[in-house]
Amino acid sequence: MIRPFFLENGELLVLDQRLLPREERWLTVRDCEGAAGVISTMAVRGAPAIGCVAAWGMAFAAREIAARDEDDPARREALREAGRRLVATRPTAVNLPWAVTRMLAVADATPVAGWPAQLAQEADAIAVEDLSFCRAIGRHGLCALPPGRLTLLTHCNAGALATAGYGTALGVVRALAGEGRLARVYADDTRPRQQGARLTAWELHREGLPVTLIADTVAGMLMQRRAIDAIVTGADRIARNGDSANKIGTYQLAVMAAHHGVPFFIAAPTTTVDMDCASGDDIVIEERDPDEVRRIDDVLVAPADVDVFNPAFDVTPGSLISAIITERGVARPSYRETLAGMMQKA
Ligand code: MRU
């Protein structure tokens, strides 16, 4: 099974996704700063995966702080500071602050001497849960999607590499393939970071699943030719009205899907739903280094000093989303009611 991280001898080994598909190199993370580093440089990426790695960053911080000779309030404040450091690495995916908040709640309820064991156990539990959520999303996706054998289109990488394993959108793809219902997946290249080409194509191709890589600009033509039965993507933050932030380019896919009558699905765990966020207007969109657009790897493909606008995410309005597939079931419009009901379910 493809997995982007695993624990070994008290250290977290993280697959450096920046090097895929050329090289499989594992980075060793042993402290909070190391966890913040692999998240901010996108060695690990994808909303659930960065939540899991941030949880381990908190566990490592707790281990180090618990060994200090300081008074109790100072050590608790130091752990909060570690949480702030992790949350600041990437602003859009809500799984990151969600995981840090969950780890802090465990720390608050535990004597400092118990932190190393308790927080490591909690970080492990978050990853175990995420994997089971992804499998449940896959199962629910089977009922949410149109019947029969399907050709899907996906954007970015919402796969095993973006989660604790199996994936959200690619979890639906895997479940469909398991039922013999997957005709093909078209994977958008996903400029500028090319998660579709580097990661989704690698992940699916490696498992022998039928994947065709396309430039982002090809998606409209495929829909016009009626070659796509449904689009399934992940999400980084879902507002309570269903507006969903995901990798830049998702919005234009949803608009084209509406024009062509192609159903558009978001597949995400409820840890990606932010009930404190009323609508997409409240979602902070990360802007990244202009060189991600000016260059492909280290090769300059534009004037070195040309102005660049490089938002990492966009927001697809809930009105363009046919259904949101979660581990608890499938939410359909109107999302204000269905998501509220779903978030109340145990
Ligand atoms: O910038 P990235 O690669 O972290 O963006 C990832 C995405 O947009 C994914 O679609 C999203 O996090 C869902 S991952 C299951």
Q: Which residues contact 337 (CB under 8 A, 6 or more apart)?
A: none
- The catalytic position among 130, 189, 229, 236 is 236
Read off the pLDDT of residues 267-318 as tens digits, 9 standing for 90 and up: 999 999 999 999 999 999 999 999 999 999 899 999 999 999 999 999 999 9
| CA 152 to the chain's CA centroid | 19
Cα–ligand 1 centroid distance for 64 (angstroms)? 30
CA pair distance 198, 22, nearest whole angstrom: 9
What sign has the CA pseudo-torsion 319, 325, 327, 333? positive
Q: Which of 236, 285, 313 to mutate to test the pocket of ligand 1 (most atoms within 8 A of CB)?
A: 236
CA pair distance 19, 15, nearest whole angstrom: 9
What residues flank ligand 1, with Cβ below 6 Å? 45-48, 93, 156, 158, 162-163, 168, 195, 233-236, 246-247, 312
Look up the pTM and report it.
0.97
* Helices and strands in the chain: count of H runs, count of E runs: 12, 16
Q: Which of 18, 189, 195 to mutate to test the pocket of ligand 1 (most atoms within 8 A of CB)?
A: 195
Which residue matches tokens 């989660």? 163
Distances 124 to 37, 167, 187, 296 between C-alpha atoms, Å: 20, 17, 31, 36
Distances 317 to 45, 155, 188, 277 between C-alpha atoms, Å: 23, 17, 20, 13
Q: Indicate the pairing of strand 295-296 with strand 313-316.
A: unpaired
Q: Is 236 a catalytic residue?
A: yes
Return the pLDDT at 346.
64
Burial of 283 (0-12, 13-18, 19+ CB in 10 A): buried
Tell me the pLDDT of the chain (346 aa) as tens digits: 899 999 999 999 999 999 999 999 999 999 999 999 999 999 999 999 999 999 999 999 999 999 999 899 999 999 999 999 999 999 999 999 999 999 999 999 999 999 999 999 999 999 999 999 999 999 999 999 999 999 999 999 999 999 999 999 999 999 999 999 999 999 999 999 999 999 999 999 999 999 999 999 999 999 999 999 999 999 999 999 999 999 999 999 999 999 999 999 999 999 999 999 999 999 999 999 999 999 998 999 999 999 999 999 999 999 999 999 999 999 999 999 999 999 997 6
CA pair distance 168, 342, nearest whole angstrom: 17
What are the strands, taking DSSP E only, across 190-234? 211-214, 230-233
What structural domains and CATH numbers belong to the chain?
A: 5-131 (1.20.120.420), 139-343 (3.40.50.10470)
Return the pLDDT at 345.
77
Q: Which helix (H) or strand (E) holds 238?
A: strand 237-239
Backbone φ and ψ for 148, nearest 5 degrees, come out as: 90, -170
Work out which ligand 1 atom sits closest to the CA atom of 195: 3
Q: Burial letters for 177-194: b for 16+ Cβ neighbours within 10 Å, e otherwise?
A: beeeebebbbbbbbbbbb
Q: Which helix (H) or strand (E) holds 29?
A: strand 26-29
